[in-house]
Amino acid sequence: LHQSDSNIKAGDEMVVYLVGAGPGDPELITLKAVKALEMADVVIYDRLANEEILKHAPHAKLIYVGKKAGEHYKSQDEINQILLKEAKNNDTVVRLKGGDPFVFGRGGEEVLALKEENISIEMIPGVTSAIGVPTTIGLPVTHRAVATSFTVVTGHEDPTKKEKQVKWDYTADTVVVLMGIGQIEENTREMMKYRDPETPACVIESGTMPEERIVMGTLGDIAKKDIKSPALLVVGNVVNVFKEMTSKELFY
Ligand SMILES: C[S@@+](CC[C@H](N)C(=O)[O-])C[C@H]1O[C@@H](n2cnc3c(N)ncnc32)[C@H](O)[C@@H]1O
């Protein structure tokens, strides 16, 4: 084992592992995540694209705290309380989140709540859908001479915020929008204030999973297409690189 692996050890102190589960394909999870799951007494998990990952924790108590679109199954405060309670009563707790826990996963809020109670916590990153999903279809978020930068932005900002932080005036060459399918029409309209409507755009639905769909278009017309969540939108000339790399038969 490398030195860096040695921080996952059974039984010496109670610890919460904040773990990224990857974007869907159950093989897109890190060895470190599998190790933490194998040792877990409790796994507290969100709605996962693929629950097969839970098979790595055959002895753990499983607690589902996922949210469903539109209705909140558990509030963030309630989730923090569950985490604190389980952390105090068990040696090894895994908090499992889709993708990477710190990319629109509210992982930071949970870490802060645990730290306030002096609970040891270790972060295990995951393959974020923002990059991993485009990569698995052959869509590079950067590409020499085409895109030297990318932005990942939420398409659904917390509606209770006093002032909007998402302004859509990003200067990065590639923009990846998560959680934006419900608002794709207004989001693309906002983006067109700063970008040409002919900018290539691509939506990837259920990326890395058997039901994956790729929807091609432009910033100006992608909102009119039939798209279902979970999905992400990629806007920028890198979409043309993807077109070059793959055969047209893939497109819908
Ligand atoms: C609450 S965010 C969580 C993101 C996650 N923490 C990550 O790093 O991928 C959920 C959003 O991620 C995107 N997403 C997650 N998994 C996806 C997948 N397999 N295919 C396409 N988009 C996905 C969708 O935009 C979805 O609305």
pLDDT digits (tens, 9 = 90+) for 161-176: 888 889 899 999 999 9
**pTM (predicted TM-score):** 0.91
pLDDT digit string, tens, across residues 26-39: 999 999 999 999 99
Query: Would you state the pLDDT for residue 159?
Result: 82
Q: Which helix (H) or strand (E) holds 15?
A: strand 15-20
Q: Is 243 designated active site?
A: no
Query: Would you state the pLDDT for residue 206?
Result: 96
Residue nearest ligand 1's atom 7 by CA: 99
Q: Terminus-to-terminus CA distance in the chain, angstroms?
A: 46
CA-wise closest residue to 19 among 115, 102, 119: 102
CB atoms within 10 A of CB 96: 27
Q: Is 158 designated active site?
A: no
The tokens for 96 are 């499992």
Find out whether 206 and 230 touch, Cβ atoms under 8 Å: yes
pLDDT digit string, tens, across residues 200-212: 999 999 999 999 9
Residue-averaged pLDDT of the chain: 91
Distance 238 CA to ligand 1 centre (A): 20
CA 162, 73, 176: angle at the middle one, nearest 5?
Answer: 55
Find out whether 22 and 99 touch, Cβ atoms under 8 Å: yes
CB atoms within 10 A of CB 147: 18
CA 28, 11, 40: angle at the middle one, nearest 5?
Answer: 35
Q: What percent of the chain has pLDDT over 90?
A: 80
The tokens for 57 are 């924790």
Residue nearest ligand 1's atom 27 by CA: 179
CA–CA separation, 171 vs 74, rounded Å? 36
Distance 84 CA to ligand 1 centre (A): 26
Query: Would you state the pLDDT for residue 68?
Result: 63
Worst-scoring range by mean pLDDT, 24-38, 62-76, 89-103, 157-171? 62-76
pLDDT: which is higher, 131 or 50: 131
Q: Is the pLDDT of residue 247 over 80?
A: no
Query: Would you state the pLDDT for residue 223?
Result: 97
pLDDT digit string, tens, across residues 114-166: 999 999 999 999 999 999 999 999 999 999 999 999 999 999 988 888 888 89
Query: Would you state the pLDDT for residue 69?
Result: 59
Q: Is 46 designated active site?
A: yes
| Pocket, ligand 1, Cβ cutoff 6 A | 23-24, 49, 97-100, 103-105, 128-130, 133, 178-179, 204, 206-209, 229-232
- Tokens 């909102």 label which residue? 223
Distance 155 CA to ligand 1 centre (A): 11
Distance 178 CA to ligand 1 centre (A): 6
**230 upstream amide cis, omega within 30 of 0:** yes
Worst-scoring range by mean pLDDT, 1-5, 98-102, 171-175? 1-5
Q: Report the b/e string of 42-56 with b at 16+ CB within 10 A.
A: bbbbbebbbeebbeb
1 pLDDT band (50/70/90 cuts)?
A: very low
The secondary structure of residue 229, as a DSSP letter, is S
Give the active site residue among 14, 41, 91, 179.
Answer: 179
Give the active site residue among 25, 32, 46, 97.
Answer: 46
Exposed, middle or buried, 250 (CB in 10 Å: 0-12/13-18/19+)? middle
CB atoms within 10 A of CB 74: 17
Query: Would you state the pLDDT for residue 13?
Result: 73
CA–CA separation, 247 vs 251, rounded Å? 8
Query: Would you state the pLDDT for residue 2?
Result: 37
Out of 46, 106, 232, 233, mutate this one to test ligand 1's pocket (max ligand atoms within 8 Å of CB): namely 232
CA–CA separation, 102 vs 97, rounded Å? 9
